[in-house]
Chains A and B, each alone.
Chain A
């Protein structure tokens, strides 16, 4: 037997537990003294913010589920009952409803952070890929959650999105019938979506553990994109980053609260306050804002299978991003050309979002196609070639000495785990 863990916590109870199950030692190591690059900017808040958002969503969701009825004849009314009769039900529901938006805002900024500072590059490829899995899980959860109030947008959103799978050759229609558990979106569909909407957040928590575990193996990236070289480059996570994250959490909650209390329906769609009606499609079926860019990509391709493939491809391409980007330099700060192009990508995605909100006619079709093309061009063509063509600026010697020595090499030579041996 390995024997007891050696602990020396002053509190005897904590010590007793820790010698048998060293959770306190673990916390101390991973969140207390964990050496963290000292030069984080506020973009590094967003991982913590996403965790806060996930926790709030799970807690409010559990209480909503206590009063929600997953049945097509009662779902809409049960949500209205939560809003009107359950004590603070309106608060819990509006927090949850706007929470989906807040969660996506935070995660999108988190992803942008990763793109801008090259956090996906070796040795953090797996960390990044787990993150993409988290994004996919989040999207599935959000989509199914949106169906639950059983309004018009719930119903027609569910119909349109599940019908995407009918594009699969041969087995498509069979898959769609299987997803529905019937011949249209109906009670069996609502029941299984409720079940999965309750399950998936806990799957997200599980994958999140892997995401954090992988992060704590490689250590965090930082705005300079160079590896930590000495203890002078780092600070203990607590109190430096616990307090810095707390500032971000406060601002985040402030914005969330302002939405919930003063503009609770600002980000939602009015049609979802009309009960689902399988006989009448709303004037234009649009998803929630966080899906609009992907919806625009879907509609930009005139071919059904093509559109669906492009839409899924737009996220799947992120899985191979670590190998598409051939530049040895992580941070955009030292990539003069890419620093411009990443903003082109941001504008491109924002434009796609705008396109997704408009009916697919006239100018919007054209803009949608241009933007879709650029999106894939960016990842599949620009990134691989730019890494070879671009001349990066000289990198600083270390985080604690960001002064660039004259004639110093462009690479952080001492970075140990860096397989990209390109000049």
Chain B
């Protein structure tokens, strides 16, 4: 049986192979954990940050990235009121009903409309972006290992490629992107938007804000979920205690 000779091989492998096998994986430094308002079991979204982040999304990201699962009405979740949402939705043109000749029409957007996508379809999106498809951002925060920390890291991880690194045509160096070559040019440089609340729009601030907004888009239920979770867990802990007390009583005369 081959199995019997394998323990020895294991030891050999542990000494020898482990090094090289692991080395090629980590070209990206470990993610730095940022402080997020929605962290932890009691976390909630910082609405001001999410609203600023929405501004960054609107003025920068949405030029290339769709957010197909989001409706304008969802923005109530970051504290915008109905009139603000109507104005935001109304500023885009969306496909309307067919006219009497059967020709397509356009109408101003409504809160019940999905976020307007920058491109008609994936093929158009690729064509406009050098063959790379900008991923949909609706659940991006849940679709990447590291979540918010990863998005923040990529947004702030651009720099010139280190000397000797061969970059492919049209690619950009990013410390945190797997493989270090990313098709997306650096999207944020600082001062890309002018915040209405007067917050200075540094690169870190913008990245932090837009990441908060993306986290909200991916987890719109988070605030309510945390709130309900605390109640449910406390209730179940209480019930567990009670049930255990009953169990002790019933079993008292058995042991």
Contacts and interface: CB of A to CB of B under 8 A. Distances in A.
Contacts of A84: 69, 74, 220-221
B250 A261 contact: no
A363 B13 CA distance: 6
A281 interface: no
Contacts of B236: 250, 253-254, 257
B254 A38 contact: yes
A249 B221 CA distance: 27
A177 to B, nearest CB: 28
Contacts, number: 118
Given A240-B251, A250-B236, A262 B229 contact: yes
A77 B71 CA distance: 13
Given A240-B254, A254-B233, A270 B226 contact: no
Main SS class of interface, B: helix
B246 interface: yes
B6 interface: yes
Interface in B116-164: 135-136, 138-139, 142-145, 147
Contacts of A372: 3
A208 B241 CA distance: 30
Interface stretch (B15-23, B56-64, B94-102): B15-23
B196 to A, nearest CB: 27
B143 A271 contact: yes
Given A84-B74, A90-B221, A370-B3, A273 B143 contact: yes
Contact of B145 (A239, A258, A270, A366): A270
A80 interface: yes
Main SS class of interface, A: helix
Interface in A21-73: 38
B239 interface: yes
Contacts of A254: 233, 236-237, 240
A16 to B, nearest CB: 31
Nearest to B240: A250
A253 B233 CA distance: 9
Contact of A257 (B6, B218, B221, B233): B233
B10 to A, nearest CB: 5
Interface in A349-369: 361-364, 366-367, 369
A274 B135 contact: yes
A247 interface: yes
Given A38-B254, A270-B144, A362 B21 contact: yes
Given A362-B13, A370-B10, 11 more contacts: A80-B138, A91-B225, A91-B228, A240-B250, A243-B243, A243-B250, A261-B41, A261-B229, A265-B142, A370-B3, A373-B1
6 contacts: A244-B247, A250-B236, A270-B142, A366-B9, A370-B3, A373-B1
